[in-house]
Structure 1
Amino acid sequence: MKTRFREFKDYYKILGVAENSTDTDIKKSYRKLALKHHPDHNKNAPNSEEKFKQITESYGVLIDPLKRKQYDRFRADHLAGRTNEYSQFRYTQQDIFEEMRRKGFGKDIFEELNREFSKSGFRSGNSFFQTTLMGGALGGIVRVLGMIPGPIGRVGQGLRIAHMVGTSLFALKKMHDAKSAGNPKDQPNVKNPDILESVKGVFNKGENSQNSLDYNLSMTIPPKEALAGTNKKISYEIDGMPEQLMIRIPEKFPHGGKLRIKGKGHSKDKKRGDLILQVKVSH
């Protein structure tokens, strides 16, 4: 059941557009603000992710004719100090994001944004929007997991879920010694892996890591799995300790593409690097 917002949000003000703005105006403003407030562009700003959510929420309402009409009525009553149950805007932020997800984060303006994000080395794609907009709370994580086909999408008893935040490999110069990296092994019988990691970004094979705490692995998958997407269970030893991960490799994955899993690399002085997983496609 949909419930109304607990607080009023001025979507026009958040997006910086006028009340009579056209769809073109709204898309233009959202594109500009989304690039400006992408969390990877503002890593030192603690509220960057929340700001990104607010502008995306505003866009999701104002670009939808029905929602915009309902919101305009609600907004007019609010600004006039009137309370009218018939004009209450009853969509929550999660309602809005869920509908946007169903329509596809990779379509329309999101397709353009993903290209811009990728060029800048920021996280992008369906998984970025799903994780950032819907993965901030346990309920959001369950929604994301539910989108993964097969038994992995069902959160089983005893499965620990860690919500990891991916970061970009863009503009990093030096690869950690590949000889010390080793290769992960598929572990089809591994039960209850520590992490079910939904992919946050796909990076070009030429983009490397200069963090000495990062740990580099590679694995090979058949063309069929690269095309359709797949879930992979892997295990490896790091600093004398075993690690078990479950990785979601998205569809149409490029040969040599890399995934970053935060906090699964080497440990030193209470800091921990990331796991950099390169996925090769067999021929």
Structure 2
Amino acid sequence: MDYKDYYKALGIEKTATPEQIKKAYRKLARQHHPDVNPNDKGAEQKFKELNEANEVLSDPEKRKKYDQFGSDWQRYQQQPGGAGRGAQPGGFDWSQYTQGQGQGGGGNPFGEGEDFSDFFGSLFGNMGGGRAGGGTRPGAGPDYQAELELSLDEAYHGGPRTITVHGRNLRLTIQPGVADGQTIRLRDQGGPGRQGGPNGSLLITFRLRPDARYARTGHDLTQDVPVSVYKALLGGEQTVETLSGPVKIKLKPETPNGTRLRLRGKGFPVYKKAGEFGDLYLRLTLTLPQHLTDQEKILIQQLADLRPEA
């Protein structure tokens, strides 16, 4: 019977901690889950192998027995006349490890159709797992991943949204201030757990659509504000539309083109910190009048004649 290297299956070292085992399993289980790879027999088989490896290595009792068996197996292969090069080790003494199955295990003790291999059945038999043992040990379900696209206004205000994942409509409340590429975790909304184990999580990554009005840097926003050349020369009030509503600003006479103004607390909200906001920077861009009338041209010429050095 072929020896199964459960550590290799999960891509971890034999010294891996329980947390490292759990992390490796969850990552690979998401990658090879049948729901993510429909009609892919290779992924389905890989998923079964991952479940079997996790069943053993995440259980301290099973892992201890498996490690002891692996050490004896390795010593046998290194002996003269041992199995070597993948041959079946007919002289290896299985009896000290098998669970009442006899040497070689006598096949899968959990019945036809069970996901675990003959190797697992021969080695662990009555230690739990499989139908004959009353069901596999509970295990967490795989995590699901999804993306949710938002406008800058939606990310600013937050609020309820509905997302469809694996045929299910889930309603969630978005906290104001989420960033592009930010991922949140919804526990218990992933794949179903095994044998009564907890469901996995749903990982939602936010994607913010570009906004022509604003440039965002952290929690600060920058906005170009067109101002007529007359208002820039004479001064006055200017209404600016912000994400929180219209704001009136006062312009000093002779305001230069490109002037930057700072509106404190009018930037983007700080995620999960109610009442905290970045700043909004206004960049004033002067606009010239178009389609001048003859009378306007005369007046502008008069003004130019008064300032010939200009």
Shorter chain as normaliser: what TM range?
0.3 to 0.5
Structure label with greater radius of gyration = 2
Q: Which has the higher strand share?
A: 2
Q: Which has the higher helix share?
A: 1
Instruction: Using structure 2 for the length normalisation, give the TM-score.
Output: 0.32
